Chain A
Amino acid sequence: MGRYTSGTTGLAAAVLTALTLAPFGARSAQAQDASTWTGMRPTLNLFGNAGLIDTPTAHPMRDADLSLTLAYIASPGEDAQDMARGAVNFQIGPRLSGTFRYIVLEELGTTSPYMDRGFDVRYLLAEEGSRRPALSLGLNDLAGTGYYSSEYLVASKTFGRLRATLGIGWGRLAEIGGFDNPLSALNDAFGDRPEQDLSGGLSSGELDSSQWFRGDAALFGGVQYLATDHLILTLEHSSNSYEFEQASLDFDYKTPINVGATWRFDNGLDLSAALLHGSALTVQMNYVLNAKTPTLFPTGHGDVPPALTVRPRFSAADLGWSLQAGDLAQGSVSLDAALQAQGLELVGFGAQGRTARLRYRNISHINQARALGRAARILARHAPHDIDTFVLEPVTDYGVTATRVTLARADLEDLEQAPDGAWQSFARADLDTGFDPSVPVPFTPDFSWHISPYVMSALFDPRADLRYDAGIETGLSYQPAPGWVIAGSTQLRIYDWRDHDVSPSTASQNVPRVRTGAREYLAASRFGLQDLYVSKYMRPGPDLYARASLGYFEHMYGGVSGEVLWAPQTSKLALGAELNWVKQRAFERDLRFQDYDVVTGHVSAYLRSKGGMHYQLDAGRYLAGDWGTTLKVEREFANGIRLGAFATVTDMDTDDFGEGSFDKGISFDIPLSALTGKRGRQSIRGNFRPILGDGGARLTVPGRLYDALRDTRQGRLQTQWGEVFR
């Protein structure tokens, strides 16, 4: 579901998706005062950061802004080479932002264009005040090849329509006009910047903090003028003299002065053009989406809760009838249809006395509390009047339940239209873990299948710059009894496109090729079994969950997997442990295996924090037998958008890992409903890794416990409860 990219996936895929979805745009400041910068977001520079043209400015983007940049630099002259740049910037919090950037240098590589990748971070030290400028600190090209390494401290101040910026930079931002590093006063070591190994080889990708803020420093700055409420003019003095481009790409550097203009549309799109260093012409497109409110239709359209049927005051209940099982069996046919109309599936339905119990699967609502409210309304419409208590249990895709909600029907009726009804209903509801081994679980076996096209792309493979596959995918899933899942999927490749042929891997021979064999898996056979497994989910205790799985878990590995998770209902913390024994599968992706096998496992801590932040720390043994730790940080929004970054450090030698040195990347999950306003759970999701290596490689297992339970844990339902009547 939602598998549009996989493996080492394309930045450009998301970027281009954004291009086509540009009209969704960020909500513009519709009523802003057009004669000043108030409420206007900053412009983005050619590197994808808030800035002028080459250099940064101090003002941050708005919290949760996701900014995409595509820029093309055309150098005149026969020998000069053009450059293309793309970047994704995310304002992680009000002060911290990160950028993932790639730069395509056509002729620098040998057989294929060279693609430089890097990360930037910046932090807002001080907001602009009436007297004080905005002040930011930033580091560019971390853990990348180092061609663009620089650090800076920059201040910006607004004067009506004018905005002025002045900063001090190190590294690439100190190539001209440099002076002795003022930080040398603190420590002589700051005076020299260590030579950087720019061979782009095995040492690149490390986090080389030994260079930071060292060497000569230089000043940069500029002004921006808001000519109209759509046109911004920029004049800049840049301390980046493009030395590297002059040497390797015949860049014609004439002057440190850059001039440019930006046209700002109302939907989050900016188009800019600039004259770079007196010789090159640049065009740039930026698109900004705010993850908090990505569309003009935050409440969605066409997805309305059915009216709550209120029981008449004096009804059959007063005659003291109690419900018989037979009465319900007839009712449940239309109950199923009613649930389907609201994007839910019936899993089980039962009643005892005056209590009706409904287990349902939420197929199409991002917000689980909203799905719960819809289920309650449908139950109110179908349950006979003498039922006065509803017990609702959301069941996740793998048949796991985390929470049971008990509501009094009268409370639902009283509070549906009250102004603060949602929170009052929460106070009156009873949420518990639903752990009751003695009560038989109402359950309908579920069988589902699908056939759909798929596309898979790999953009950042260092050995071939762009490749993609398209074909037909089929899948089956069968849940014969509570807690059991049998599932499988296959892929048949129909079309593939590769820019260049495979060249030998840069990965070391010292480590098993646990992930870098990716293209062998694609090349060996058109038809492949992606996964085929059986899993059993258990609840040994109210806060304890367990899973055991056997089979082929992903296209590269199969074996056995076991996991436990301790996830107390209202706690923000969960702890888990997983142990797997897997063998590497044959390249043909059939039922056979290769010789390599490994025991992998991790202990994990999951923390949900305010502001929608999720942290996950895993420690253990990875597929190549290396030991290490992964940290993943993710921000989740109410509309289901999730954006995160991860990094793994293991005891594998960075030389053996290969180019890139350690595993790192960014992850995204953007539900289509957040962009269209129409209900549904399909999303565009994937991971970007600048380089795919064999270190820090984790097994992919379908249906891991925390992911399966994440949305329906009590704490999460509680956070979302405001939507229960929507």
Chain B
Amino acid sequence: MIGIRLGRIAAHVLVGLALSGCASDMSHQNLYDQIPGLWHAITRPGQLPAAPQTQVSSQIKSLHMTLPDQNWSATFIPVTRRDGAVTWQTGSTDAPRATLTIRNGVVIATRGLGDDLMASDTADLTRAKSGAKSATGQRTNRYLRGNGDLQSTIFICDYSRTTEQFIERCTGARTSITNTYGTSQSRQWLGPTLGYVELTFTDP
């Protein structure tokens, strides 16, 4: 008896959520947009929704990015350059789906990936990459937690170099990561939810 009642309640709640209607403006159509999001989140929680398919001309430099833990990949194109940092974007100009900000091959911020790296302080890494003598340094990653607060995660890192790659090995309070930077490829850790990102730069 109670089971049937609860079943009916569930049905009417879901029906209420699933149906949308027609509207002249966005405020009601937003519900329509939320349905695929809800469905995706129920059936595949912890997974980013599918990446946009961006057509990229072979005339320009592009970046192919993969998140192996999320089974997600997309192609990015550069859109702005400020203070030596290039912002790469996937999606349309007016409504980008995700961006990566990269300075000297190091990802310093992401947007639109769900649990973004909000900012990253990688001054030590930059110095080490450009040939400074020191073999150790520190990295600070910032993420959004709680009620809009930024939380810092600090890693102690050591650096080494092979003929093809620069390797950054870092240890934090809960995680150890290894980032590798090559001439046109790199593998970097973005955060606890996204895991590692693999980047491949393609020149025109």
B192 (CB) vs chain A CBs: closest residue: A30
Please report the C-alpha to C-alpha distance between residue A723 and residue B149 in the assembled complex, in whole angstroms.
Answer: 10
Selected interface stretch from A323-331, A335-343, A480-488, A545-553: A335-343
How far is it, in angstroms, between the C-alpha of A638 and the C-alpha of B6 when the chains are bound? 32
B contact residues around A84 at 8 Å (CB): 2
Contact assessment for B28 and A20 in the assembled complex, using a CB-CB cutoff below 8 Å:
no
Shortest Cβ distance from A337 into B: residue: B94
Q: A300-B114, A301-B113, A466-B9 are in contact. Are A72 and B148 (CB under 8 A)?
A: no
A341 in complex: contacting residue of B30, B40, B94, B119, CB < 8 Å = B94
B132 at the interface (CB under 8 A from A): no
- Complex: A186 Cα to B121 Cα, angstroms: 61
Q: Are B31 and A299 in contact (CB under 8 A)?
A: no
**Interface-forming stretch among A9-17, A41-49, A352-360, A501-509?**
A9-17
Q: Chain B 24-38 against A: per-residue CB contact (8 Å), 1 yes, 0 no?
A: 111110110110011
Binds A, one of B54-62, B82-90, B160-168: B82-90
Q: How far is the CA of A303 from the CA of B10 in the complex (A)?
A: 30
Answer whether residue A448 sits at the interface, using C-beta atoms and an 8 A cutoff.
yes
B41, B85, B121, B148: the one contacting A722 at CB < 8 Å is: B148
Segment 273-293 of A: residues with Cβ below 8 Å from B: 292-293
Q: Are B34 and A341 in contact (CB under 8 A)?
A: no
**Chain B's interface: helix, strand, loop or mixed, by majority?**
mixed
For the complex formed, measure the closest distance between the CB of B175 and the CB atoms of chain A, giving whole angstroms. Answer: 7
Query: Is there a chain A Cβ closer than 8 Å to B53's Cβ?
Result: no
Q: How far in angstroms is the closest Cβ of chain B from A668?
A: 14
Q: Report if A676-B37 is in contact (Cβ < 8 Å); known contacts: A299-B111, A457-B9, A470-B12.
A: yes
B94 near A20 with CB under 8 A, answer no
A585-639, CB < 8 A from B: 612, 637-639
Please state if A682 and B31 are interface contacts (CB–CB under 8 Å).
Answer: yes
B12 in complex: contacting residue of A25, A310, A455, A681, CB < 8 Å: A455
Interface residues of B in 78-114 (CB under 8 A from A): 79-80, 82-83, 85, 87, 89, 91-99, 101, 111-114
Pair B41/A363 contact, Cβ less than 8 Å:
no
Partner of B113 from A1, A299, A684 at Cβ < 8 Å: A299
With both beta carbons as reference points, the residue of chain B lying nearest to A302 in the complex is identified as B97
Query: Within residues 230 to 262 of chain A, which ones have a CB less than 8 A from any CB in chain B?
Result: none
Within 8 A of B (CB), among A110-150: 113
A267 at the interface (CB under 8 A from B): yes
Q: Are A363 and B27 in touch, CB under 8 angstroms?
A: yes
Chain A interface size, under 10 / 10 to 19 / 20 to 34 / 35 or more: 35 or more
How far is the CB of A307 from the nearest CB of chain B, in Å? 5
Give per-residue flags for B55-77: 1 if the beta carbon is below 8 A from chain A beta carbons, else 0: 00000000000000000000000
Question: B23 contacts A452, CB within 8 Å?
Answer: yes
Q: What distance in Å separates the Cβ of A54 from its nearest Cβ neighbour in chain B?
A: 20
Q: Is A364 an interface residue (CB 8 A)?
A: yes
- The answer, among A104, A343, A639, A677, for a CB contact under 8 Å with B114, is A677
One of B10, B85, B114 near A297 (C-beta < 8 A): B114
Contact B114 A301 (CB under 8 A): yes
Q: Which residue of A lies closest to B120 (CB)?
A: A419
Bound form: Cα–Cα A293–B144 in Å: 10
What separation, in Å, do the CA atoms of A472 and B20 have in the docked complex? 10
Q: How far is B204's CA from A147's CA once the two chains are assembled, in angstroms?
A: 76
A451 at interface, CB cutoff 8 A: yes
Contacts of B95 in A (CB 8 A): 304, 306, 341-342
A448-B24 in contact (CB<8A):
yes
A568 CB to nearest chain B CB (Å): 25
How far, in whole Å, are A660 and B47 apart by their CA atoms in the complex? 46
- Chain A neighbourhood of B30, CB < 8 A: 343, 363-364, 680-682
On whether the beta carbons of A307 and B87 are closer than 8 Å, the reply is yes
Partner of B10 from A16, A310, A459, A673 at Cβ < 8 Å:
A16
Give the chain A neighbours of B101 by CB distance below 8 A.
Answer: 417
Instruction: For B11, give the chain A residue with the smallest CB separation.
Output: A16
Interface string of A30-42 (1 = CB under 8 A from B): 1100000000000
Contacts of B143 in A (CB 8 A): 298
Provide the bound-state CA to CA distance between A367 and B183, in Å: 40
Residue of A nearest to B7 (CB): A16
Question: Which B residues lie at the A interface, using CB under 8 A?
Answer: 1-2, 5-6, 8-10, 12-17, 19-28, 30-31, 33-34, 37-38, 40-42, 45-46, 48-49, 79-80, 82-83, 85, 87, 89, 91-99, 101, 111-116, 118-119, 121, 143-148, 150, 174-175, 192-193
